[in-house]
Chain A
Amino acid sequence: MKKRILKAFILFALMFTVCFNMLACGNKTGGGTGDGGDRTRQKTISWLHIWPEHSAAMTKIANNFMSENPDIKIEIQQSTHGDVASYLNMQVFSGTMPDVFFYWTHQISPYVDYDAVLDLTPYVSGWKETFIDGGTSWDIAKIGGKYYSVPFRSTAYTIVYNKTLLETLEVEVPTTIQEMEAALEKIRKSVPNQSFAPLAATGIAGGTLPQIHTALNSFVALQTEQYLDPAFKSNLIDDDATANQLGAKVLDKLKDWVGKGYFGYAEGKSESTAITNFVQGNAAMVLMNNNNLYLLEDMDEEIEIGFMAIPAPVGVDYTYVFGGFDGFSIAKNTRYPEECVRFLKYLTSLNVQQQFANSESSIMAVDGVVYSDPDQQAMSVAMKDMGNSLLSQPDAKFDVGSYGDQNNSLVLNYILGKSNSTAMQVIQLIEENNDKAVADAGLKRVARTHPYPQNVDYSWLEIL
């Protein structure tokens, strides 16, 4: 009897093992990146993008590529703008990265740190040069002298202005931040109704109002030559008293603008509402993403519009464009690097880029794309400084991360006039959070070594 039980036990164990093996084999042959086509010699590449709104265009691109390259099969994975980071984090964690995956070019460095991204440097020659400005867009994401991300299209915020209205109000299109302030003041006085916004902005976390805060800080970084400090690219500079005072002045300046109604009712406003305000004539200007250009289609055809970046203070040769490039990278553990590169080259071929620009109203990364839509063309010109690597920090060694929500909340509440703290107290709280984040990363902040330039005019930060 004991033998029978032992036999049954062994039989059971064998069945169990067979079941597990079958499951394991099934995973290998049926998985997204598996070589299910060994028999047909077709190689399967998984491709992650984040644009449900462009899924038809992405499917068309994949289908066209597959018909031109019958040896490669593209399997599309789709995430969303808000979820792609956690989606990819899970994939990295579980070792199931898509072969070709979306990520913003200038933010790819954490994945590079985890050795999850293929170095594209050996493939760059003759490819990078086909991009706008000879490939400066590649350089803003250059890490340790190597390239890991291929720009696909631009994603940035520019100011769209109602040219007709500005002419009626006799307001010149501003070319400096001082002129911008004067223009906002003149518009506000001409149209005192508070529900009309001289510049429609979104006063929510991650909205366009915090972007204007970032823009003003960038101008300060340019004026103080902070970007020339050796530690700037690593984002590890410990802000000194001067930097903190200037930071506080920026906060006060923006709070003053909000209080004067330059942004209308910005609090709680979504970007689509801000754009609707502009389209319906309830805003003279709007700060908006180029990928929302289609929302301007409902605008009265008789109204002429123009595009510009946020202008810098007098004497600073720069315009601020909040944004970067939507890019694609290749997973380091892909089984088919050559095929993935072939696919990326196809994605950034002039033909595919032109098709995408035409059908999806996007501003593309490759040189030579022609925009038949004049608005699209004007926006691409306004975004010219986006590829400028002056202020990019691709080697940033830390991010404020889990303290980011607190910092965003501190800034937003202050500029919306909802905080009881002073600007300097807000700056100090932010600095404390930054210190914690740097310590968490096992790093130390470093003192600025580049001297402050003399005779710099910070008067644009004064409250008028």
Chain B
Amino acid sequence: MARKKDVLIKNRNLWGWVFSIQTVIAILVTLIYPLVYAGVLSFTNVRFTTVNFEFVGFDNYKWLFTESAFFADLWVSIAFAVVSTAVQTVLGFLLAFMLYFMKGKVQGFFKTALYLPVILPTAVVSSMWMIILAGDEFGVLNVLFGLTDPPFQWLGDKTIAFWAIVIINTWRYYGITMVIYLVNMSAVPKEVVESAEVEGASRGQIMLRIIIPLVMSATSLNIILSMIGGIQSFDLFYLFQTNGNLTLDLTPVGVLIFKTGLGSTNLRNIYLARSVTMSIVLTLIIATVTVLINKVFSRSEDK
């Protein structure tokens, strides 16, 4: 009897292996293979095609640390990620807190209205903001504030352009932060808040003493998502540089990686191996940042 049971368990395990084959293959093909391939590429001098390439050891890494604009542009990405995350998290939280106390259709209306920018395509967002921030006498902001003689350059100066892009990015993504917070706030028992109100707690006290500690996991999630998105930032900068007048001095590392790898107008200037090398280093940096944020929040949650 015991032997029959053993056979059944063994067979069940075998069937388990058989049915997991497709998943294993999918992971191997879509995740492991590209990662290993990228790792191998980073030690080659592949420019555009994998024909006639050579292994060059750590040359690409040496180039990255000594000659490339990687760290200068990474600084732009990190500064952008930190500032955007801070603004977006605070704004998203406050809006969610406001919505939390609204009821029924009013909440539904504002929730939808505030979430709208998230669903707009990047091309639409960039076109719209290019018109608003145009550095000529027809720019919406310039006309609005009478800054036409001479026209104010919203995107021509590195510092001003940085804040302009932060505002656009925040306007576009605060909806996601807000919804994540709102979902978490909805899980806070109403009785807790109502009891606090009965005890005479103000909205500010409720926010500080009850809501913020109870939505700490949402804060952690929002910060991680926003930081990763910020460090990887590409589309807004790229579109504003190629179709608008965003100064080329403000280039995040994502744009640099794209231009090095595929975005050059000239095939001769494509350095796929270097682009891959930068991607690998950027991935490691993002992974480190994510782990650090997680650690910080897990400690504060433990307390």
Contact = CB atoms under 8 A, between A and B. Distances in A.
Q: Do A and B come from one complex?
A: yes
Interface of A: 1, 5, 8-9, 12, 16, 82, 85-86, 89-90, 92-93, 107, 110-111, 113-114, 194-195, 204-205, 265, 267-270, 273, 276, 397-402, 404-406, 408-409, 412-413, 418, 436-437, 440-441
B241 A205 contact: yes
Contact of B264 (A12, A195, A401): A401
11 contacts: A1-B11, A85-B266, A86-B263, A267-B156, A269-B136, A269-B245, A273-B137, A399-B268, A406-B248, A409-B249, A437-B269
Contact of A273 (B22, B138, B265): B138
B13 to A, nearest CB: 11
**Shortest Cβ-Cβ A-B pairs, 10 listed:** A268-B135, A401-B269, A110-B267, A85-B265, A409-B248, A399-B266, A204-B245, A273-B136, A405-B248, A268-B245
Label chain A's interface by main secondary structure: helix
A16 B25 CA distance: 11
Nearest to A195: B149
Contacts of A93: 48-49, 262
Given A269-B135, A269-B136, A270-B134, A85 B247 contact: no
Interface string B243-267: 1010111010000101110111111
B294 interface: no
A440 B249 CA distance: 22
B134 A273 contact: yes
Contacts of A440: 269, 271
B136 A265 contact: yes
Contacts of A405: 248, 251, 259
A436 B245 contact: no
B243 A82 contact: yes
Contacts of A92: 48-49, 267
B247 A270 contact: no
B21 interface: yes
B153 A268 contact: yes
A12 B18 contact: yes
A267 B135 contact: yes
A276 B264 contact: no
A408 B248 contact: yes
Contacts of A399: 264-266, 268-269
B267 A276 contact: no
B259 A276 contact: no
B262 A268 contact: no
Interface string B136-163: 1110000000001111010110000000
Contact of A265 (B49, B137, B242, B243): B137
Contacts of B48: 89, 92-93, 114
Given A401-B264, A409-B247, A1 B269 contact: no
A89 B156 contact: no
Contact of A111 (B149, B241, B267): B267
B296 interface: no
Contacts of A204: 245
Given A399-B264, A399-B266, 8 more contacts: A5-B14, A12-B21, A86-B263, A93-B48, A107-B266, A265-B137, A402-B260, A409-B247
A185 to B, nearest CB: 20
A267 B241 contact: no
Interface of B: 7, 11, 14-15, 18, 21-22, 48-49, 67, 69, 134-138, 148-151, 153, 155-156, 241-243, 245, 247-249, 251, 256, 258-260, 262-271
A8 B18 contact: yes
Contacts of B151: 265, 267-269
B148 A205 contact: no
A398 B268 contact: yes
Contacts of B249: 409, 413
Contacts of A436: 67
A437 B148 CA distance: 40
A85 B247 CA distance: 22
B127 to A, nearest CB: 12
A182 to B, nearest CB: 25
A113 B267 contact: yes
A394 to B, nearest CB: 13
Contact of B153 (A5, A205, A267, A408): A267
Report which residue of B156, B249, B266 has the largest number of chain A beta carbons within 10 angstroms of its beta carbon: B266
A265 B150 contact: yes
Contacts of A90: 262
A412 B266 CA distance: 22
A205 B248 contact: yes
Nearest to B137: A195
A270 B22 CA distance: 53
A113 B265 contact: no
Nearest to B266: A399
A270 B135 CA distance: 8
A268 B22 contact: no
A267 B136 CA distance: 8
Given A5-B11, A195-B149, A268 B155 contact: yes
B149 A194 contact: yes
A92 B137 CA distance: 42
A273 B135 CA distance: 10
A89 B261 CA distance: 10
A402 B138 contact: no
A114 B242 CA distance: 26
Contacts of A205: 241, 245, 248
A223 to B, nearest CB: 28
Contacts of B138: 273, 276
Contacts of A397: 268
Contacts of A398: 268
B266 to A, nearest CB: 4
A418 B259 CA distance: 25
Nearest to B260: A402
A92 to B, nearest CB: 7
Nearest to B243: A82
A455 to B, nearest CB: 38
A110 B263 contact: no
B270 A89 contact: yes
A425 B258 CA distance: 29
A392 B251 CA distance: 31
A195 B148 contact: yes
A9 B153 CA distance: 67
A1 B14 CA distance: 11
A111 B151 CA distance: 42
